[in-house]
Amino acid sequence: MAEQYVTTGRTAREISASVESRVADGTLQPGASLPPVRRLAEELGVSPGTVAAAYKELRARGVVKTLGRGGTVIAAAPAVTSRRPPKVPEGLRDLAGGHPDPAFLPVLHPPARVEPLPGSHRASPRLAALEDAARAWFDRDGVPTGSVTFAHGALDCVARLLSAELRPGDAVAVEDPGFHHLLDLVPALGLRMLPVLVDDEGIRPEALRSALRGGARALVCSPRGQSPLGGRFTPGRLDALLAVLRDFPDVLVVEDDHNADIAGAGAVTLASGGLPRWAQVRTVSKHLGIDLRWAALACDRATLARHDGRMLLTSGWVSHILQATVADLFADPGAGRLVARAATEYTTRREALRTALERHGIASHGMSGLSVWVPVADESAVVNGLRTRGWWTAAGARFRIASPPGVRITVATLTPDEGRRLARDLADTLGESEPVYGG
């Protein structure tokens, strides 16, 4: 039976907005039925076609779904919060957050004096010194630098790219397992996710082809430091992926190289493959400071125009105070040495844990980046077992769509000695219930 609520509107857009507002305020819960098209049309004094168009828009945005004879019902709410990590229990060693070691982050020194601005930065949104540094940063790794711009962090950039390129209901190919914030973002934009399985060499070509054949209009992936599996592109995998993508020239390929300077892997990037539609975004939060909400974007000309056009209508530009802070860090030799040390130490810590796990017969993934992924059969059993031993790790559920279960361990602050102790504790945890371990 249809739920009783007040719907307003004379146009399809007004009607769909009325329904969506009642979903947002909790009046309409998942599973609640909407009135049949003709009945609602009569109640509102509009044509059935207007209501049908409103329902179509709601379906495209993922707000409702059609159950055949069961009518139109409110869809399950997008996972906007369910993938967020739980609070770390007091007294536990936190290995779940995915954050860098503060010991390897330079002290930030914003400009000491900032004069009042007579007007707006919209006409000159990028500081020349930082734009030059960004171009050199990309050029170092073979990424074309004909079109470069800035954004407020990686997710801000990806959201703007997808919303400018796609329409609600379109599909995006995403890594599985993948970055949990991205897996929140895509449905929040009204887009559908098509999972692409990942291994140690990054996304799998056959899985990518399947997603593209399934209608994906964009791909978001990481060339190295992939979260949470730690995959990184190899030259052979790159060639295979480019061969697939060349059959789909209209697809926008977005690379998130957020760990570029500390991934512990060389640059092997789709951005260098001559694709017609591409973008690579890089941030500095992992190696220069988590409060530096700045990203550099290199892309093709059409993508640049769409990104900057949308940004011009919203925030306009990235704060020049923030840009000056980042530019100074790029030019600071001391900061450069600290970043190089961080890259070496993160690799040492990651490999120490993986070696210790291997000695206990425990398979793992983590070819690059700040995390190690351990496949298991029961994530909760492993997380709770390690919790009793003083460790707090991340259950893999919030990183997965259809891929097998696992546990993510952040190694950024994990010393080799601690890694060996953790490996012993994990082996004991798995040994308490042999079926828990998935191999």
| CATH number of the domain enclosing 48 | 1.10.10.10
DSSP state of 252: E
Domains contained in the chain, number: 3
- Tell me: do 182 and 261 sit in the same domain: yes
Q: Is residue 2 part of a domain?
A: no
Backbone angles phi, psi at 283, to 5 degrees: -125, 170
303 pLDDT exceeds 90? yes
| CATH number of the domain enclosing 426 | 3.90.1150.10
- Tell me: do 169 and 305 sit in the same domain: yes
- Tell me: do 54 and 147 sit in the same domain: no
Label residue 83 by pLDDT band (50, 70, 90): low
Among 1-10, 113-122, 341-350, 359-368, name the one with the lowest average pLDDT: 1-10
209 pLDDT exceeds 60? yes
Q: Is residue 48 part of a domain?
A: yes
Domain enclosing residue 140, as ranges: 115-332
CB atoms within 10 A of CB 26: 7
Q: Which two tokens stand for residue 424?
A: 């012993």
C-alpha–C-alpha distance, residues 150 and 268, integer Å: 22
Label residue 45 by pLDDT band (50, 70, 90): very high
- Tell me: do 378 and 314 sit in the same domain: no
User: Pick from 307, 332, 357: which residue ends a domain?
Assistant: 332
- Tell me: do 351 and 302 sit in the same domain: no
C-alpha–C-alpha distance, residues 106 and 339, integer Å: 8
For residues 204-210, give the mean pLDDT: 98
For residues 90-104, give the mean pLDDT: 95
CB atoms within 10 A of CB 1: 6
Give DSSP secondary structure letters for 180-249.
HHHHHHHHHTT-EEEEEEEETTEE-HHHHHHHHHTTEEEEEE-SSS-TTT-----HHHHHHHHHHHTT-T
- Tell me: do 291 and 308 sit in the same domain: yes
Q: Is residue 1 part of a domain?
A: no
User: Pick from 297, 332, 367: which residue ends a domain?
Assistant: 332
5 pLDDT exceeds 80? no
- Tell me: do 377 and 296 sit in the same domain: no
- Tell me: do 156 and 28 sit in the same domain: no
Per residue in 372-384, pLDDT tens? 999 999 999 999 9
Per residue in 121-131, pLDDT tens? 998 999 999 99
pLDDT given at position 112: 86
Per residue in 121-174, pLDDT tens? 998 999 999 999 999 999 999 999 999 999 999 999 999 999 999 988 899 999
- Tell me: do 348 and 320 sit in the same domain: no
pLDDT given at position 4: 53
pLDDT given at position 436: 44
- Tell me: do 223 and 290 sit in the same domain: yes
Q: Is residue 109 part of a domain?
A: no
Q: Is residue 419 part of a domain?
A: yes
Per residue in 395-436, pLDDT tens? 999 999 999 999 999 999 999 999 999 999 999 999 875 554
Per residue in 246-285, pLDDT tens? 999 999 999 999 999 999 999 999 999 999 999 999 999 9
- The mean pLDDT of the chain is 92
pLDDT given at position 84: 67
User: Pick from 315, 332, 349: which residue ends a domain?
Assistant: 332
Q: Is residue 200 part of a domain?
A: yes
- Tell me: do 30 and 128 sit in the same domain: no
